[in-house]
Amino acid sequence: MVKFLPLITLMHFFIIIILVIWSFSPELSMAQILKEERLRKNDISNKLKEPIFIIQPKNIRSEVIMMVPGAKQTAYSAGYLGELGVRLYGAEEFRSIYSGGWREFREAALLASRNYLKSIKPIYIKDSAGKIEYALIQSENPLLIGAIKTLQFREIFKSKFGPNLLLVMPNRSTILIFSADKNSLNVYKKTFYQMFIDAIYPVSREVFLINSEGLSVIGDLKSP
């Protein structure tokens, strides 16, 4: 003879099963939420890590650097755009991301700067006779300084200043461009050097030349 459980017992059994299932559901939901949040943060982090080609005084500590041809005071550094702004790569982190080394990083950073170049709007400063003395570019975009390493940068100013350009970069948000063949840079040296001294994010006290051979340093703003 089959014995049936009392109705009250069956009800208790089903209630217990429901409670057990319910007790696990929040954990599963929370685990899924945490996983999705982690993936979202990783995605944002990867998007923020846009490579930045940094030029800065060589006495600023950086674990990934290359020397600028002819420079005594300035070096190239590898960086990226993080949540709090421009960050310098540590050596281990750099190697883990760029297995191809500096060459791979350089190409990625210059690609970003080439895209940025399309948006620059130089201001041309003229003398009393109405002739252009120099061009000024100012921007808070950290890609600005790295843009001078692109071939396209020279092309933008060739029609105004000729094939050889002199550049002064006292801080990360300022580039001053002169003709290398005929210029009045000496008149402004003291002013530009003071801009470098006062900079929160200094770039260089040196004077750069861009010509058909590339970028190099040919002088110092502090020199007479």
Could you report the per-residue pLDDT of 58-111, keeping only the tens digit for each? 999 899 999 999 999 999 999 998 888 899 999 999 999 999 999 999 999 999
pTM summary value: 0.76
Q: How many CB atoms lie within 10 A of CB 3?
A: 5
Which residues does 90 contact at the CB level (< 8 Å), separation at least 6?
63, 64
Q: Residues in the chain, how many?
A: 224
- Residue 63 region by backbone torsions, left for phi larger than 0, else alpha for psi between -120 and 50, else beta: alpha
CB 79 within 8 A of CB 68: no
Domain boundaries, the chain: 48-116, 120-220
> Which pLDDT tens digit goes with each residue over 111-168?
999 999 989 999 999 999 999 999 999 999 999 999 999 999 999 999 999 999 999 9
